[in-house]
Amino acid sequence: MRSQVKSFRSRSGLWFWWSLWISLILLGLVLAHWQWQRADEKTQLLAQQAAAEHLTNPTDLPENLSRLTLTGQYLADQTLWLDNRIYQGQVGVAVLTPLQTDTGHWWLIQRGFIPTAVDRRIEPVVETPAGDVQLSGIWQRLETGYWVLGDNLEGNRLQSLDLSPWSHLPGEVFQGVVHQTEGAGHTVSWWQPSQMPPERHIAYAVQWLSLALMALIVAVAGQRKLWGRSAQQEAR
């Protein structure tokens, strides 16, 4: 009877041991795969950027990261702020102003960074040119369905890029934003299409694979010790 109890405890210990380490191994493999996918996405993004077209007042949906030159009128009273931006260690906002074109189409223009006061009750101030303007920038398609903690729009500040605050504007609009690089109304460029190079993601993937392999080695070595202890206990 005592030997049966010891055998049961031994099997239970091995089951717990392998459950723990297999979970860690699987976690490492999943994270490595995720980093590898991110590296592939960044590679494709850089390729798109290198092959991006330069379009002037397009009427069809541009390819992602296309370079655009647009003419139209800023809708200054529709300006909102993209909150919690950081540029060179300074906290501020990005200026978001719709641009109405002569064709009736409008574009959301991310005009650049401006610093803000510590007191959030103080509204940011930016000058917006009146009349016809010309500007250039990089087109970024926006994905829908981003999850935001709380309301996305708080006063005149947006937590993430979203076109819904301007849904009342007449005319057509493409699901995206133009990150202005030059032209009338431009402030300071801060946006970059890719913050981390593909090589960094690959390095992280290799690290996670190495940790998964290390976990496997520790699991096998630990199992041998457990077997040795179990054999000694059964021999007593």
Whether residue 103 is predicted with pLDDT greater than 60 in this model: the reply is yes
Task: Provide the mean pLDDT of the chain.
Answer: 85
Question: Angle, to 10 degrees, between the axis of helix 198-235 and the axis of helix 2-50?
Answer: 170
Whether residue 143 is predicted with pLDDT greater than 90 in this model: the reply is no
Q: What pLDDT does 11 receive?
A: 62
Q: What pLDDT does 200 receive?
A: 83
Residue 92: phi and psi, rounded to 5, are -170, -155
Report which of residues 230 and 179 the model is more confident about: 179
Q: What pLDDT does 148 receive?
A: 52
Q: What pLDDT does 5 receive?
A: 45
Report pTM: 0.67
CA dist., res. 58 & res. 206, Å (int): 43
Within 8 A by CB and 6+ apart from 72, the residues are 99, 100, 101, 102, 106, 107, 132, 133
User: Residue 151 CA to chain centroid, in angstroms?
Assistant: 19
Whether residue 203 is predicted with pLDDT greater than 50 in this model: the reply is yes
The pLDDT of 128-148, averaged and rounded, is 85
pLDDT, tens digit, for every residue of 42-69? 787 777 766 667 999 999 999 888 999 9
Confidence of residue 6 (pLDDT cuts 50, 70, 90): low
How many Cα atoms occupy the beta-carbon half-sphere of 57 within 13 Å? 11
What percentage of the chain has pLDDT greater than the value 70?
83
Q: Does domain 48-183 have CATH number 1.10.1060?
A: no
CA dist., res. 100 & res. 123, Å (int): 24
pLDDT, tens digit, for every residue of 31-44? 999 999 988 887 87
Confidence of residue 79 (pLDDT cuts 50, 70, 90): very high
Left if phi > 0, otherwise alpha if psi is -120 to 50, otherwise beta: which for 150? Answer: left
CB 79 within 8 A of CB 94: no
Whether residue 193 is predicted with pLDDT greater than 90 in this model: the reply is no
Confidence of residue 215 (pLDDT cuts 50, 70, 90): confident
What percentage of the chain has pLDDT greater than the value 90?
53
User: Where does residue 93 rank: exposed (0-12), middle (13-18), buried (19+ CB within 10 A)?
Assistant: buried
